[in-house]
Amino acid sequence: MVSSSPSSQKGLVMSNHSETPFESIENARDYIRLLQQTVAEARNEIASDLADASGGHSDRRVEALRLVQYKLEKLEQHLHSSGRALNDLRSLRRLLFEERGEPTATRAENDPEAA
């Protein structure tokens, strides 16, 4: 039976938190890149299997491989869109943090008494 003491549950929560790949936008983007590489490898394998299957295997196998190929293409498109969204978020975050710092500096330059 699993212990339900608060200290053992807290340790479990803390260890899971430190292993998440989504602690920052950059980490999420790296994760998406890894997924894109994996999907690209899978697409290459399926393309090879499809070429082999077209030579004489059953029509059902060829149709199944074509469906897998289509689904991988869709997944690749979604991952590409997700990567662009993460890039946009990263750019917006940088823009917001830089703009927050600029008005104070600009005001201090224009009005020495404001500082």
Contact 108, 114 (CB under 8 A): yes
Instruction: Give the chain's domain count.
Output: 1
Q: What is the largest CA-CA distance in the chain?
A: 84
Structural domain containing residue 30:
22-114
pLDDT higher for 71 or 114? 71
**CB–CB of 14/6 below 8 Å?**
no
Q: How far apart, in whole angstroms, are the C-alpha atoms of residue 19 and residue 37?
A: 21
Q: Tens digit of pLDDT for each residue in 6-54?
A: 444 444 444 444 567 678 899 999 999 999 999 999 999 999 999 888 8
What is the chain's mean pLDDT, rounded?
79
Residue with tokens 């009005």: 111
In a domain, 72, yes or no: yes
Asked whether residue 17 is domain-assigned, the answer is no
